[in-house]
Amino acid sequence: MTWTVSIIEVGVLPDCRLAAYVPDAPTDVTLDLPCYCWLLRGSGAAVLVDTGPDAEPPEDVGYEVAGDTRAALLRELRAAGVAPHDVTTIVHTHLHQDHVQNDALFARAEVVVQRRELEDALQAEARCRSLSADERAALAAGPYGASQGAGLWYVGTAALVAWLGARLRVVDGEVEILPGITVTPSGGHTTGHQSVLVETADGRACIAGDIVSLAVNAEVIGPMTPDAAAAGAFLERARAARWELIPSHEPALRDHRWYVSAANG
Ligand SMILES: [Zn+2]
């Protein structure tokens, strides 16, 4: 079975340091990085890969979000003829808050995540909650490498898990979750990170997640991918299989044939 893919931009992470993604980049170069969600449609089904950040997160997790992300996501779904209750499955590449916070819009959807990711996220959140308010604020104000490494971007996972209840579908390893949609562990960015392989009319696409944050990361493994060996092995597999790799925060995706929106435009 093949699926169509729509790339939906929901908001922007302003003033990200390029050096967080590309080794040896000048430390003073910043850029605005889009946050995307991917809508997969086939045989009447609607699946989302990641749901993006909430522009007004309840916790300070160390990054800012520009744009009304929920309005943007709902608007683009409506334009595609998809109501929130039509979304039956959400796949999370990983549980960092900039990829999961709009799950709250989809009260019916089953949410697919790797067991390793879920366990690591809950442990990291518990560690962060044991820090003092000052310690957490200092981490949030620091570079991405520090806040990510400390697990701060996972703060909010326990509440999400409680809200999802029985709708949370925990998988182990490579699993075809629907005909033509396969999740596969890709590590690198987080230990339980997964990428999503989608059969399309154009061949197999790989919604890479943050193992390929920027397009250049398909060739150059950066600081956002601390497990370079895992990332390298996955990228080698992707190259050999000739998957079309879809990055997670690449501005040039706005020119991709599957891109359908401009955030809040
Ligand atoms: Zn991430």
DSSP-derived secondary structure for 192-227: T-EEEEEEETTEEEEEEEGGGSSGGGGTS--TT---
Cα-to-centroid distance, 59 and ligand 1 (Å): 16
Ligand 1 center from residue 40 Cα (angstroms): 21
Q: Which of 1, 210, 211, 194 is nearest to 112 (CA)?
A: 194
Q: How many angstroms separate the alpha carbon of residue 189 from the centre of ligand 1?
A: 7
Nearest to 245 by CA among 262, 230, 231, 261: 231
> How far does the centroid of ligand 1 lie from the alpha carbon of residue 84, in Å?
24
Tell me what pLDDT residue 205 has. Answer: 98
Question: Does residue 251 contact residue 13 with C-beta atoms inside 8 Å?
Answer: no
Contacts of 180 (CB under 8 A, 6+ apart): 1, 2, 3, 42, 198, 199
Domains along the chain with CATH numbers: 4-255 (3.60.15.10)
- 132 Cα–ligand 1 center, Å: 24
User: What's the gap in Å between 87 CA and the centre of ligand 1?
Assistant: 23
CA of 144 relative to ligand 1 center, distance in Å: 10
Res 59: pLDDT: 82
Please tell me what DSSP assigns to residue 84: G
Distance in Å, CA 43 to ligand 1 centroid: 31
Q: At what angle do helices 157-164 and 115-129 cross, to 10 degrees?
A: 130
Query: What's the CA gap between 43 and 21, in Å, rounded?
Result: 37
Centre of ligand 1 from the C-alpha of residue 171, in Å: 19
CA angle 107, 122, 163 (to 5 degrees): 20
DSSP state, residue 131: S
Confidence at residue 85, expressed as pLDDT on a 0 to 100 scale: 97
What confidence score (pLDDT) does residue 265 get?
45
Q: How far is the CA of 79 from the centre of ligand 1 (A)?
A: 28
Query: What is the CA(96)–ligand 1 centre distance, in A?
Result: 5
Tell me how far the alpha carbon of residue 74 lies from the centroid of ligand 1, in angstroms: 22
* 193 alpha carbon – ligand 1 mean position (Å): 9
**Residue 264's pLDDT is what?**
45
Q: What is the pLDDT of residue 143?
A: 83
Task: Give mean pLDDT in consecutive 10-residue pieces for the chain, a chain of 265 residues.
Answer: 97 92 92 96 96 88 88 95 97 96 97 98 96 92 86 95 98 98 96 98 97 96 93 97 97 96 52
Q: What pLDDT score does 64 carry?
A: 85
